[in-house]
Chain A
């Protein structure tokens, strides 16, 4: 069974631009969660989608948004990029909602904002 895939793996953007990251979950998984990881900050939860609906949201500004498609693939968008948005963005999929099921993480997208 193929694992969680994320594209692109690396991205360099300029302040003020916007970016869209993509995540394809493991086949059969209906939940996709997104996390931001920076040195010293651990894994910060962004949001979780289940069956195309946002089920949980972390404490991030509205510049961070996401969506999930009927095939469970998910995208995350960050508008008006700031230098502080430079991070590794991880998505994770699970059979059911993240809090109750083992999560499988993708390799991440490393975003650098200059």
Chain B
């Protein structure tokens, strides 16, 4: 089966850095995605890692270590608008996509 674990909630202040970890147990794994969802909104794609290492997109970066079955999303220079839920999702053989339970990030002034 497939399972992904991520923390349920993280709180930080504006301007801080937050790291959301995601560990996965996925047979036939080939990539890890991250999605952001604001309250009442639809999830939107943030990043995708198929290879080990860090991918940077503006203030957000995503990292993958296939040998450790682990990845993380790094949110830098936190802004109030970054308050949202963040989901990791594993792609696997058969083109299945499995989502983690989501991490709620609360940014305080």
Residues of A within 8 A of B (CB): 4, 33, 35, 40-45, 48, 55-56, 90, 92, 97-100, 102-108
Beyond A40-B101, A42-B99, A99-B94, list 6 extra A-B contacts (CB 8 Å). Answer: A35-B99, A43-B89, A56-B94, A99-B96, A103-B35, A105-B42
**How far apart sit A69 and B47, CA to CA, in the bound complex (Å)?**
30
Residues of B within 8 A of A (CB): 30-31, 33, 35, 41-45, 48, 87, 89, 91-92, 94-102
Number of A-B residue pairs having CB atoms within 8 Å of each other in the complex: 60
Whether the Cβ atoms of B91 and A107 lie closer than 8 Å is no
Identify B42's interface contact among A33, A48, A100, A108, CB under 8 A.
A108
Could you list 21 A-B pairs, sorted by A, with CB under 8 Å?
A33-B97, A42-B87, A43-B99, A45-B96, A45-B97, A45-B98, A55-B95, A56-B94, A90-B42, A90-B43, A98-B91, A99-B30, A99-B31, A99-B91, A99-B95, A99-B96, A100-B91, A102-B45, A102-B48, A103-B97, A106-B42
**How far apart sit A48 and B92, CA to CA, in the bound complex (Å)?**
14
Which chain B residues lie closer than 8 Å to A43 at the CB level? Answer: 43, 87, 89, 99, 102
Q: Which residue of A lies closest to B8 (CB)?
A: A40
